[in-house]
Amino acid sequence: MIAVIDYGVGNLFSVEKALAAVGADVAVTSDEERLRDAEKIVLPGVGAFGDCMRNLEATGLVPVLKEEIGKGKPLLGICVGLQILFDGSEESPGIRGLGILPGMVRKIQAPGCKIPHMGWNSLAILEPRRKVDLFAGLEETSYVYFVHSYHAVPEDAFLITATSCYGSELTASIGKDNVQATQFHPEKSGDVGLRILKNFVES
């Protein structure tokens, strides 16, 4: 069973439907025991960094989430679900992230380009051979769907597994051991996004 964390943010129906489409047994939940029982966890997120963190903290799930990640349970973060894995964000000064990965979330610097970065863009996969290989079987140039004004800047650049170019190089995905996350929305990215979710489910 894959638990999709329900903390009042994110397009949970789309994520649930996409995971089910690739064969996953999915539970959208805010129950800590279901998180403990799940084989894998998906952490979605839409909106402002600070709102997402406040909502997540209000569920009381943060200690359980950190505990399960610490045990090695696979986690996939999506959009702001990627960003809150880091220490904090310029979007919400003074609001601490989960601190699972060291680094900050920074405003996109894209002179001449509209912010937010919204729509389809190509991925440059930097290091696809990970313990959880989200990008197995993808074409060298694959397009995915983004909606964001901020992106993660890890302290360790090796955490970045894919980038996308939009006025400057942006972090498109990160990965470390059992923790993987995408800034783009795989559930809105057509066949490419479904393949990424299938890779996560079957890994």
Tens-binned pLDDT, residue by residue, of the chain (203 aa): 999 999 988 779 999 999 999 999 999 999 999 999 999 999 999 999 999 999 999 999 999 999 999 999 999 999 999 999 999 999 999 999 999 999 999 999 998 899 999 999 999 988 655 545 899 888 878 999 999 999 999 999 999 999 999 999 999 999 999 999 999 999 999 999 999 999 999 98
155 catalytically annotated: no
Which range marks the domain in which residue 168 is found?
2-202
**What are the tokens at 170?**
């942006």
185 catalytically annotated: yes
CB-based contacts of 67: which residues, under 8 Å, 6+ apart?
A: none
Q: Which among 16, 68, 91, 187 is annotated as catalytic?
A: 187
187 catalytically annotated: yes
Tell me the whole-structure pTM to 2 decimals.
0.95
Q: Measuring CA to CA, which residue among 188, 185, 85, 175 is closest to residue 134?
A: 175
Q: Which among 16, 68, 79, 117 is annotated as catalytic?
A: 79
Q: At what angle do helices 49-59 and 62-70 cross, to 10 degrees?
A: 90
Structural domain count, the chain: 1
Query: Can you spell out the DSSP letters for 141-165?
Result: S-EEEEEESEEEEESSGGGEEEEEE
